Amino acid sequence: MPRLTRLGQGPDHRPGPVVTLAASHGVALVEALVAAVVLATGVLGAVMLGLSSAKTFRMLTYEARATELLSDMAERLRSNPDGLDAYAGPAEDNGCREIDGSLRFCTHAQFASQELFDWQRLINGALPSAASDIRLAADQGISRATISVSWQADGRRRLDTLEIRL
């Protein structure tokens, strides 16, 4: 079988060294393997970026929800100044809410305890392994509340806190 050859051209346009096609056998296979490795690396990088983005999105969603819940409780505290002490106590489902348009008479403390119960249910539904804490303090006649929400995400305990003046 005759060997196929091709003449190369040097920079001065004279015939250069002779390259046999037999010597370039397997080069296409090596190029294909290199291209496959580069492609696989790119795909793996894209998958890792997608997973990282999903994790970040989930964490930001939890942070936003916690902030929303903290603001919600701050408004509840401000709207019931006569029942403030009850917000730092136990939460109770005592029926102090409007159901089907009917109202039940409740004291400010009972209403605060019911609101705390409802708020804690919201937290537990929105955040994984959630816990909350409300601390009230008065300094020189100025009442303050520190509202905290914590939750478990990605193996770590997260905490979001809001301090307000009442």
Does residue 7 lie within any of the structural domains? no
The tokens describing 143, both together, are 């009442």
Question: Is residue 63 situated within a structural domain?
Answer: yes
Q: Retrieve residue 51's tokens.
A: 């997973």
Query: Token pair of 58, please?
Result: 């989930």
Place of tokens 């942070």: 63
What does the DSSP 8-state code read for residue 3? P
Convert 104-131 into a string of H (helix), E (strand) and C (coil).
CCCCHHHHHHHHHHHHHHHHHHHCCCCE
pLDDT reported for residue 104: 72
- Domain annotation covers residue 146: yes
Residue 10 counted as domain residue: no
pTM over 0.75, yes/no:
no
Task: Look up residue 76 and give its two tokens.
Answer: 């509840």
Q: Does 117 have pLDDT greater than 80?
A: yes
Q: Which band of pLDDT confidence, cut at 50, 70 and 90, is reported for residue 122?
A: very high
The amino acid present at 125, given as its one-letter code, is G
Query: Is 23 within the bounds of a domain?
Result: no
Q: Is residue 139 part of a domain?
A: yes
Range of the domain at 71: 33-165
Q: What count of other Cβ atoms lies within 10 Å of the Cβ of residue 136?
A: 15
Instruction: Give the span between the Cα atoms of 134 and 45, in whole angstroms.
Output: 44
Considering the domain boundaries, does residue 26 fall inside one?
no
pLDDT tens for each residue of 61-109: 999 999 999 999 999 999 999 999 999 999 999 888 666 666 678 899 9
Is residue 2 one of the residues assigned to a domain?
Answer: no
Tally of domains in the chain = 1
Helix (H) or strand (E) holding 148: strand 142-153
